[in-house]
Amino acid sequence: TKTLAVFVGAGVSRVMGCKGWDDLASNLVKRCTSITKPGDGSPLLTFRETEILARYSDHKKTITICYDILKDNGYENNFFEELEQSFKPDEEHFPYRDIYQQLYGLRGLFITTNADKHFDLHFNKDRIIYKNFHPDDIDPTKLYRIHGSILDRESLVFKVQDYIRTYRNNDFQSFLRRIFNSRTVLFVGYGMSEFELLDFIITKADTGHEIESKHFILLSFYTGEEADLKFEQQYHNKMGITVVAYQKDQNGYNQLYEVIKDWNTRINQTSTFLYETYKEIED
């Protein structure tokens, strides 16, 4: 719809069989353990260091540390090999490979924090923006890759310092603020570890004057996790974000595909669809 903005997270590509942040972090640790230092032939990570990194729950922290270790020892390309490998779908998830086609059918303004190329197929090459974001350039015919693209390593946002640099940029802040304050926003494929955008809504976007929430996040739950859902609703409501929950008992995380496919067939020309869907869930 004309007023809908869809933020696309890693969970969407994961439905296709791509690796998540947790898998990427784990594989990078393994890679650092298997590679030896140019000087003395010892592994880049000792057993003790590997154990420490394995305990980190912040996967982006682990990814940043592994990148620095690989780069400092002359193995930066190994990092990007692992990153590109994580973007490859697997055959087991073949039935869900058109999830981006289903998502594109929602006819919104699309912004993604993913670095893979899977959504690119639905846009002309010159309509894919991955740097120099500006509030005066918001066009629904474009795909905005706010964390960069694997096609341009310099544009990628995956290390802690990248996030700091990007989210402190004035034009970038104004770009997001205009989207958050003027559109109905739907977050798809985001988990609790994706704090950057949520933190931005709290600290930078002027959402405190909304009469009714215009921001929604799709989250999956198992039957019996009503208490978890309640807590998530309370947490997100404080940020002006309404949780739209769906059950994953039968299909696990792949249920996201069925939800998007269903919405694709039902969505109309107004953004009231999200409100109606939320009210159905409430009832």
Residue 103: burial class (beta carbons within 10 Å; 0-12, 13-18, 19+): buried
Strands 128-129 and 109-112: unpaired
pLDDT at 235: 84
Burial 149-185 (b: 16+ CB within 10 A, else e): bbeeeebbbbbeebbeebbeeeebbebbbbbbeebbb
Question: Over 70: is that where the pLDDT of 270 sits?
Answer: no
CA distance 234 to 214: 16
What's the chain's average pLDDT?
87
**Residue that finishes a domain, picked among 53, 86, 119:** 86
- Average pLDDT over every residue of 189-204: 70
Instruction: Please check whether residues 116 and 209 belong to one and the same domain.
Output: yes
Say whether both 205 and 103 belong to one domain: yes
In a shared domain, residues 153 and 69: no
Of 211 and 60, more confident? 60
pLDDT value at residue 269? 44
Mean pLDDT, range 26-48, rounded to an integer: 94
Of the listed ranges 71-80, 115-124, 163-172, 188-197, the least confidently predicted one is 188-197
pLDDT at 117 over 80: yes
In the predicted structure, residue 56 carries a pLDDT above the cut 80: yes
Are residues 213 and 132 located together in one domain of the fold? yes
User: Is the pLDDT confidence value at 107 over 90?
Assistant: no
Question: In terms of domains, do 275 and 240 share one?
Answer: yes
Whether residues 47 and 115 share a domain: the answer is no
If asked whether residues 102 and 66 sit together in one domain, one would say: no
> Which is more confidently placed, 193 or 242?
242
Say whether pLDDT at 281 is over 70.
no
Is residue 283 pLDDT above 50, yes or no? no
The verdict on 121 and 156 lying in the same domain is yes
Report the pLDDT averaged over residues 180-189.
91
Of 54, 86, 118, the position where a domain reaches its end is 86
Indicate if 182 and 228 belong to the same structural domain: yes
Checking if the pLDDT of 93 tops 80, the result is no
pLDDT for position 24: 94
Domain ends where: 68, 86, 104?
86
The phi, psi pair for 209, rounded to 5°, reads -100, 10
Q: What is the mean pLDDT of residues 4-9?
A: 94
Domain residues for the domain of 201 are 4-18+95-282
Sign of the torsion formed by the C-alpha atoms of 190, 195, 198 and 201 = negative
What pLDDT is stored for residue 265 in this prediction?
80
Q: Do 33 and 129 share a domain, yes or no?
A: no
Within a 10 A sphere around the Cβ of 110, how many other Cβ atoms?
24
Q: What is the CATH number of the domain that holds 154?
A: 3.40.50
Same domain, 14 and 42: no
- Using pLDDT thresholds of 50, 70 and 90, give the confidence band for residue 232: confident
Q: Quick one: pLDDT band at residue 273, thresholds 50, 70, 90?
A: low
Same domain, 25 and 131: no
Say what the pLDDT of residue 211 is: 40
Q: Which residue has the tokens 């059918």?
A: 105
The tally of domains found in the chain comes to: 2
Lowest mean pLDDT among 68-77, 225-234, 256-265, 266-275: 266-275
How far, in Å, CA of 57 to CA of 75, rounded? 25
Average pLDDT over residues 154-164: 90
3-class SS letters over 94-124: HHHCCHHHHHHCCCCEEEECCCCCCCHHHCC
The amino acid at residue 194 is: E
Give the lowest-confidence range in 76-90, 111-125, 129-143, 225-239.
225-239
User: For a pLDDT cut of 90, what percent of the chain falls above it?
Assistant: 58
Q: pTM for the whole thing?
A: 0.88
